[in-house]
């Protein structure tokens, strides 16, 4: 398959005319037609004829190709796209056609990348399994009885199922990394402000981040170079210069120091995931990195902090979707969304603000200090992404507490603002994917991508694909 190749390999093949952009797009749509009736990764598929016409224009074009020119991609359905339905996986927006483009989408269009579809997710980003959606759950390509992870489960499953070359996800508390780990792809949660959020429907505004999802760290580096940067439409976007991330990928790891929080490898972590992490530690040591054990006792409070602040922010953000503007009552929200609105509204109400919201923000400051203390001594922190392998569809939705616990390892990075890269690192005995994450200082994505790429140069996990498409 052409879609098995990396972005750079596909680009080179297009330039050498080993295959055409039209052939690439036909393969992509062919895979959608073959597999997505069982996977359900897409909410809206862009008209095939329209995209094929653009592909032919790319093939016949005379201008210089960018690495992403002619490359098929998908968006989590949280990004507004002019003239193309945007739902956020909620019936509240089931018929919403935006009148403008999200910045990240416009940047990709300007490079000649080709949008294939808007993908399934947990409605409004509320969930870790892509089951909390009004468009039916997304199934994991590695085991169709299991979830793909969330909330960016649709994009992750589409990459794993070779229905796209890359995707743009969104991460508020693990929503890129969680499905990346469970679908055996690579996903990057960027530093807060690294990529413009303009045109992204908000879940929790101070936690939301826009990031790339692909088959490898190299693919993510290529994408991030092109979507990062200051945006006049987003006052929270950072003016910090954008490095050429791909130029860092091949630097050796000799002398790099990686922290391993030993207290996060105990109770509650699946044994097979723990063993895969420890094998990855040994592999890093083999290629020159220094691994040292550390402790992060404050981590136990991560879920409590996240699930006070995030619902507070979402209760404010979703207040705009009322009957006056959209003509619907609140019955259009899912149970999980209603639950988060109620928790947030309660925590912000008179008499409870100090007890919950203010206290959670103080704890957030302690998390910032804890990460700063460790990352002042180490280049990165290595830890699991998920506590368990992908769950059977229905398990998390029937147990709201377990649904929250699925994000145990990923919810503390967003309140702090630091970047985190999820990469495949093994499989269970049942051939279910396992991922690990690498966390770094703010605006050190190039270092995380370097570490992830070097690991992927000496392992084959990220190259494996599910039996459904083998």
Catalytic residue among 76, 106, 118, 332: 76
pLDDT, residue 403, reads 76
C-alpha radius of gyration, the chain, whole number: 21
- pLDDT tens for the chain, 470 residues long, are 999 999 999 999 999 999 999 999 999 999 999 999 999 999 999 999 999 999 999 999 867 789 999 999 999 999 999 999 999 999 999 999 999 999 999 999 999 999 999 999 999 999 999 999 999 999 999 999 999 999 999 999 999 999 999 999 999 999 999 999 999 999 999 999 999 999 999 999 999 999 999 999 999 999 999 999 999 999 999 999 999 999 999 999 999 999 999 999 998 999 999 999 999 999 999 999 999 999 998 888 999 999 999 999 999 999 888 777 777 777 889 999 999 999 999 999 989 999 999 999 999 999 999 999 999 999 999 999 999 999 999 988 878 777 778 899 999 999 999 999 999 999 999 999 999 999 999 999 999 999 999 999 999 999 999 999 87
Q: Supply the DSSP string of 187-221, one letter for each residue.
A: EEEPPTTSB--TTBPPSSTTT-EEEEEESSHHHHH
Q: Nearest 5 degrees, angle CA 237-CA 187-CA 446? A: 60
CATH class, 2-469 region? alpha beta
pTM of the model: 0.97
Catalytic residue among 41, 151, 216, 420: 151
Pairing of strands 186-189, 420-427: antiparallel
Q: Is 151 a catalytic residue?
A: yes
Q: Quick one: pLDDT at residue 399? A: 80
Residue-level pLDDT at 124: 97
pLDDT reported for residue 322: 74
Structure tokens at 285: 């040591």
Residue 186's DSSP bridge partners are 214
Q: How far apart are CA 149 and CA 127, in angstroms?
A: 9
* HSE (side-chain half, CA atoms, 13 Å) at 417: 16
Residue boundaries of the structural domains of the chain:
2-469
Q: Is the peptide bond before 247 cis (omega within 30 degrees of 0)?
A: no
pLDDT score at 469: 84
Q: Cis bond leading into 334, ω under 30°?
A: no
The pLDDT of residue 402 is 77
- Residue of 41, 129, 175, 216 marked active site: 175
Angle CA(345)–CA(346)–CA(348) in degrees, nearest 5?
A: 65
Residues counted in the chain: 470
CB 90 within 8 Å of CB 203 = no
CA distances 378 to 115, 219, 255, 256, 277, Å, are 39, 25, 10, 8, 18
pLDDT at 321: 87
**What's phi and psi for 214, nearest 5 deg?**
-155, -170
Instruction: Report H helices in 261-319.
Output: 271-286, 302-317
**Predicted local confidence at residue 323, as pLDDT:** 74
pLDDT at 109: 98
């Amino acid at each position: 398959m052409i879609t098995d190749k990396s972005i750079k390999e596909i680009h080179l093949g297009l330039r050498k005319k080993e295959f055409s952009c039209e052939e690439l797009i036909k393969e992509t749509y062919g895979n959608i037609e073959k597999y997505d009736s069982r996977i359900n990764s897409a909410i809206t598929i862009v008209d095939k004829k329209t995209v094929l016409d653009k592909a032919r224009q790319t093939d016949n074009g005379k201008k210089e190709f960018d690495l992403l020119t002619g490359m098929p991609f998908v968006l989590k359905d949280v990004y507004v796209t002019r003239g193309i339905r945007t739902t956020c996986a909620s019936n509240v927006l089931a018929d919403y056609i935006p009148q403008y483009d999200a910045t990240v989408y416009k940047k990709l269009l300007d490079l000649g990348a080709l949008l294939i579809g808007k993908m399934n997710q947990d409605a409004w980003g509320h969930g870790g399994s892509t089951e909390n959606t009004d468009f039916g759950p997304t199934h994991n390509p590695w085991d169709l009885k299991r979830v793909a992870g969330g909330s960016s489960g649709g994009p992750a499953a589409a990459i794993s199922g070779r229905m796209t070359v890359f995707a743009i996800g969104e991460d508020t508390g693990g929503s890129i990394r969680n499905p990346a780990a469970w679908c055996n792809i690579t996903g990057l949660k960027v530093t807060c402000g690294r990529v413009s959020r303009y045109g992204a429907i908000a879940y929790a505004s101070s936690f939301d981040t826009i990031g790339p999802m692909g088959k490898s760290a190299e693919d993510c580096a290529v994408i991030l170079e092109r979507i990062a940067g200051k945006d006049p439409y987003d006052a929270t976007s950072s003016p910090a210069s954008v490095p050429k991330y791909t130029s860092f990928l091949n630097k050796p790891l000799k002398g790099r120091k990686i922290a391993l929080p030993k207290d996060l490898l105990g109770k509650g972590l699946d044994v097979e995931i723990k063993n895969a992490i420890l094998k990855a530690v040994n592999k890093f040591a083999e290629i020159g990195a220094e691994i040292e054990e550390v402790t992060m006792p404050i981590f136990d409070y991560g879920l409590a902090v996240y699930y006070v602040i995030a619902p507070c922010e979402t209760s404010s953000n979703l207040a705009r979707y009322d009957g006056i503007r959209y003509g619907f009552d609140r019955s259009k929200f899912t149970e999980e969304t209603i639950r988060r609105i109620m928790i947030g509204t309660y925590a912000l109400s008179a008499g409870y603000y100090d007890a919950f919201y203010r206290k959670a923000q103080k704890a957030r400051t302690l998390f910032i200090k804890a990460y700063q203390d460790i990352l002042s001594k180490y280049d990165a922190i290595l830890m699991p992404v998920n506590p368990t392998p992908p769950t059977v569809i229905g398990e998390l939705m029937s147990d709201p507490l377990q649904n929250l616990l699925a994000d145990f390892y990923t919810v503390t990075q967003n309140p702090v603002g630091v970047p985190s890269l999820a990469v495949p690192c093994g499989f269970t005995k049942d051939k279910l994917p396992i991922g690990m994450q690498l966390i770094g200082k703010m605006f050190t994505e190039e270092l995380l991508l370097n570490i992830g790429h070097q690991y992927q140069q000496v392992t084959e996990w990220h190259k494996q694909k599910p039996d459904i498409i083998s």
